[in-house]
Amino acid sequence: MVVWCNICFTVNNSIPSLISNIPDTSVQVSSSTSINLSNYVTDLDGDNVNYTVNNNFTYSNVTISNTTKIMTITGITAGTDNITLNFTDGIGNATSNIILITVTSIPAETPVVTPTVTPESGGSAPPAPAVAPVADAEAAEVAAEEAAAEARGETTFTTSDSAGQSYVPKYARKYLKTSEAKTQEMNGSILVTLSFENKGRKNISLFPQVIQEVDDPFFVVTTKTLGHSGSWAETLSGIVYSSEPVAGRLLKANILNAGQIVLQPGQKIDKVLEIKEGLAVPRQLKIQFTTLGETVTEKEVQITPKKSITGAAVDVDSRNHLVDVYAIIVPEQLTQKLEQFYQEQALTGAAVFTLSQSDEYYFEISINKNKLKKDDLILPYKFTAAKTFNNIFKSQSSFGDFYGPYIINQNKSIIFAQQFKFDPKEFYGQNTVETKVYRGSEVIVKNEFEVNLGVKAEN
């Protein structure tokens, strides 16, 4: 589960969801068509999605490869089938989509009657034979190129279970045609649409990945000596400092529906990739497509420049009982434009800004057990003894800590990062996390949100 504040979203073992409805399909008898299901289904957790289809089809035959995510529909006899497509990530409940398949008869050929004309009858001479279609000429050229390569001892393709006979990088590069990337921002993600076409005679297998360049922020990773696993602090609070660095999953952009793309010979498809931006604001963002580990093509993604913002993010790994806490601290004055930007984002949680001239910044985090009554609460253990903040955790907090000061000038920003390990016997289910960023003694950003720490561990 991932929770952000200020740019606030929650992903809590999400089941697969539709990017858009899978369209109804028409196919002729004895013909086939294919649909790349990964173009229509996404999983916010990045889990592998498996597909199944019911067997209630009479007029068509439907098969799905869960390796390539390709659904193939073959017409058997004229008629209409309603099929139910189910997809699941193996964790949550399956989601379904109903597709109408219409199978049409092969149209009867209309005989072409060519009148007999001769120069003697005043007519013109019969037309010259038609030139072969361009597509046939291209196919012949590809076949000749492959034959010449094989004669030179070159390897033009490899064979795998997931992609069948697919080109090696050199020939994938040669026969792959791609469009420029079209981008659209939706629900906090960037949707990137690309068209791919395979001009060759064998499959092309592609794996997408994000390449990004970011301005290097100053990273603060705390190294406090008290409160690690096995210490008396663990007994008191139920939360300790992890000895490991943060997982870093929130720092850089990632493709939520990254999976193998297999293009069959002559196939042309549109692919929609969903990119979630990271905490670090990128200067440049590209999608790179590789075959056998080598880059075949890459496309730059146009991103809308955003003002750097100050806020917090929390990444929960309930399986391993870990919480990664990040804080972005950017020294910017509150302007009317920035205020309008925040209002337009419909942020969850309150954001309060003040104009302090201090260059000292602090970060505060507290985790409250929602299920406990006030009289049952454990007094929060303090890892810091700073007298200035002795009274900051008077609420129903079961854990709290305070960090800083960090001296930041107007041309520099920092990303604070700290991993905590929690005791699942003490912390489980829904818990409230409150974060504050201070500039001097003034709160400039305050957020409160809920995180799910998983089920209670048995004693």
Q: Within a domain: residue 406?
A: yes
pLDDT tens string 96-142: 778 888 888 766 554 544 455 555 555 555 554 444 445 567 777 88
Where does a domain end: 242, 272, 301? 301
Q: Taking the alpha carbons of 201, 205, 210, 211 in that order, is the dihedral positive or negative?
A: negative
pLDDT tens string 167-205: 999 999 999 999 999 988 887 788 999 999 999 989 999
311 and 296 in a common domain: no
Range of the domain at 199: 166-215+251-301
Nearest-angstrom CA–CA distance, 297 and 177:
9
Nearest-angstrom CA–CA distance, 347 and 5:
8
Nearest-angstrom CA–CA distance, 227 and 338:
39
Residue 327's pLDDT is 77
Count of structural domains within the chain: 3
Among 449, 435, 250, smallest CA distance to 352 is for: 435
Q: Within a domain: residue 356?
A: yes
Question: How far, rounded to the nearest angstrom, does the alpha carbon of residue 148 sit from its chain's CA centroid?
Answer: 41
Cα–Cα distances in Å, from 399 out to 196, 237, 432? 52, 6, 11
Does residue 372 register a pLDDT over 50?
no
Q: Within a domain: residue 49?
A: yes
447 and 321 in a common domain: yes
Q: Which two tokens stand for residue 235?
A: 């007994």
Mean pLDDT across the chain, nearest whole number? 72
Q: What percent of the chain clears pLDDT 90, i.e. is strictly above it? A: 13
Nearest-angstrom CA–CA distance, 46 and 11:
11
Q: Which two tokens stand for residue 314?
A: 């929390």
Question: How far, rounded to the nearest angstrom, does the alpha carbon of residue 366 sit from its chain's CA centroid?
Answer: 29
Where does a domain end: 83, 104, 125? 104
Q: Within a domain: residue 238?
A: no
Residue 204's pLDDT is 95
Three-point CA angle 130, 135, 141, nearest 5°: 105
Q: 10 Å Cβ neighbour count for 139?
A: 17
Count of alpha carbons within 13 angstroms of residue 183, beta-carbon side: 15
427 and 356 in a common domain: yes
297 and 327 in a common domain: no
Does residue 438 register a pLDDT over 90?
no
Burial (CB count within 10 angstroms: exposed 0-12, middle 13-18, buried 19+), residue 128: exposed
Cα–Cα distances in Å, from 322 out to 7, 64, 314, 315? 22, 37, 10, 8
Count of alpha carbons within 13 angstroms of residue 368, beta-carbon side: 16
Does residue 213 register a pLDDT over 90?
no
CATH code, domain carrying 358:
2.60.40.10
DSSP β-bridge partners for residue 263: 204
Average pLDDT on 422-430 reads 85
Q: What is the pTM of this model?
A: 0.50
3-state secondary structure of 175: helix
Confidence class for position 352, pLDDT limits 50, 70, 90: very low
Where does a domain end: 63, 88, 104? 104
285 and 337 in a common domain: no
Q: Within a domain: residue 233?
A: no
**Phi, psi angles (nearest 5°) of residue 37:** -65, -25
CB 198 within 8 A of CB 175: yes
Rg (CA), the chain: 30
Cα–Cα distances in Å, from 90 out to 47, 48, 87, 95? 8, 8, 9, 11
400 and 279 in a common domain: no
441 and 399 in a common domain: yes
Three-point CA angle 318, 324, 330, nearest 5°: 150
CB 69 within 8 A of CB 50: no
Q: Within a domain: residue 174?
A: yes
Among 182, 204, 185, smallest CA distance to 193 is for: 182
274 and 316 in a common domain: no
